[in-house]
Amino acid sequence: MPYGCLDVKTLSAASLKALEGALEHWQRSMQISRPTTFLLLTGYDDGSGPEVELKREIVLSSPAGEALANNVIAITAKNEEELATKVARNKTLMPIQTLILLAESRHALALRPIFKRKFGRALEIRKFKADFEFNHPWISTSSSFTWFFRNLILGIWAGIRKRTGRSLRKKLTPIRQKQSSHVR
């Protein structure tokens, strides 16, 4: 999962920790069992920084990076839901037998319903703990209280979307578009 950049040349601590865990797991699986294992470098399209490029530099500077550079794929998206969709539709990755998602422990609760809907049993979430920097660009606070309510709302939203029929969602979409056009 992407966790942003602090500036143009520095990844955030959470993003760096997730990348290190992914690199370790990726190198083990490439050497031992699966030659068709891919490493996905993900980032958000919010313009906060070149997170994907920084991650790619770190991967290529690792000992096995140059030999395995053909199995590195970069994907950017606006949010978690679009990221899951782009990963599911990537032709290079098909068929996905196992998707290991490394997510910060407080963020993993909100990600589970989003990615579970796209990947089902193929999804495996590995959690890690990270302390976010005080000046992190897209997380204004890392308090447990804030993360709890954010994850609760995202989980409820994903659950409602999963259980809502397509016809009802189509009826609600024009209402949402009218409301957003009035706001502009």
**Residue range 59-91, pLDDT digits in tens:** 888 776 676 778 888 888 888 888 889 999 988
The predicted model gives 12-20 an average pLDDT of 81
> What's the pLDDT score for residue 35?
61
Q: With contact defined as beta carbons under 8 Å apart, do 142 and 131 qualify?
A: yes
pLDDT > 80? residue 12: no
Residues with Cβ within 8 Å of residue 91, at least 6 apart in sequence:
none
Would you place residue 177 in the very low, low, confident or very high pLDDT band (cuts 50, 70, 90)?
Answer: low
Question: E strands, 66-174, where?
Answer: 72-77, 99-104, 123-128
What is the pLDDT of the chain when averaged over all its residues? Answer: 76
C-alpha span between 115 and 173 (Å, rounded)? 22
C-alpha span between 73 and 4 (Å, rounded)? 18
> What's the pLDDT score for residue 47?
57
In the chain, % helix, strand, coil (3-state, to 5) comes to: 55, 15, 30
pLDDT tens sequence across 93-146: 888 888 888 887 777 777 888 888 888 888 888 887 776 665 555 555 556 677
